[in-house]
């Protein structure tokens, strides 16, 4: 399996953001994109896809990527727990379709409660999870401080365009910190999805 080279860097770049934003490096023949997330954090990705975008006004994180794989493959990768577990976290659900619930477990982080909110196969799936990074502990069930992330798929000439939108950060313990953490997380996790599916293509 191909693994992306993803690097998070915290730097002191206050007052020098224009020199960093959009910087590209070459590493082993692959382009490394550097994107400024805020005054101290740079997101680095090995794909040609843009990093996450934070909308502080709507408490939303969004990322759109292109994957050189069929929509059927991408749909399976974002809906089947066995496939989600290959690129995201170990996922267990007690059923399929809206209302199915379970968990997603990340090594060295913990187990996050998860529930399927809506499904419009094979175009959209929406999950609610209790992944409040700023909270003191992870909840056992999906509760009031949960966010919703929605995957939307669109077939394109080169494969599939996948958009993830995560909402509801205004209900979390620290909206700004959680949006920043999840913006970074969607870069790392979706880059792994791209590597997995394009490696299988």
Residue 30 lies in a domain: no
Residue 27 lies in a domain: no
For the chain, 201 residues long, give each residue's pLDDT as a single digit of tens. 233 334 444 333 333 333 344 444 444 434 345 444 444 444 444 568 999 999 999 999 999 999 999 999 999 999 999 999 999 999 999 999 999 999 999 998 999 999 999 999 999 999 999 999 999 899 999 998 899 999 999 999 999 999 999 999 999 999 999 999 999 999 999 999 999 999 875
- Note down the domain range covering 126: 48-200
Write out the E strands in the chain. 8-10, 24-27, 30-36, 41-45, 53-55, 60-67, 90-93, 101-106, 110-120, 124-129, 147-156, 159-167
CA distance 131 to 114: 9
Instruction: Report which secondary-structure segment, H or E, holds 76.
Output: helix 71-79
Residue 86 lies in a domain: yes
Secondary structure of 156-196 in HEC code, one letter for each residue: ECCEEEEEEEEECHHHCCCHHHHHHHHHHHHHHHHHHHHHH
Q: pTM of whole model > 0.75?
A: yes
Cβ–Cβ under 8 Å, residues 183 and 175: no
Closest CA to 89 of 193, 173, 1, 200: 193
Beta bridge partners of 66: 161
How many domains does one find in the chain?
1
CA-angle at 103, arms to 102 and 106, nearest 5°: 165
Instruction: Tell me the CATH number at 73.
Output: 3.30.530.20
Distance of CA 4 to the CA centre of its chain: 14
Residue 127 lies in a domain: yes
């Amino acid at each position: 399996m191909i693994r992306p080279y993803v690097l998070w860097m915290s730097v002191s770049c206050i007052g020098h953001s224009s020199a960093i934003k959009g910087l590209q490096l070459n590493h082993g023949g692959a382009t490394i994109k550097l994107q400024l997330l805020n005054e101290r954090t740079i997101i680095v990705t090995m794909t040609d896809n843009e990093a996450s975008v934070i909308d502080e006004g709507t408490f939303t994180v969004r990322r759109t990527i292109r994957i050189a794989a069929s929509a059927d493959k991408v749909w399976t990768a974002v809906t089947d727990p066995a496939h989600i577990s290959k690129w995201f976290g170990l996922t267990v659900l007690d059923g399929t379709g809206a209302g199915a619930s379970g968990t997603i477990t990340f090594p060295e982080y913990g187990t996050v409660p998860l529930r399927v909110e809506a499904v419009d196969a094979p175009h959209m799936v929406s999950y609610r999870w209790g992944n409040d990074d700023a909270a003191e502990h992870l909840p056992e069930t999906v509760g009031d401080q949960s966010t919703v992330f929605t995957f939307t798929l669109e077939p394109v000439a080169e494969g599939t365009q996948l958009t993830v939108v995560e909402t509801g950060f205004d209900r979390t313990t620290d909206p700004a910190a959680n949006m920043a953490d999840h913006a970074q997380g969607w870069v790392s996790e979706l880059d792994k999805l791209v590597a997995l599916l394009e490696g299988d293509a």
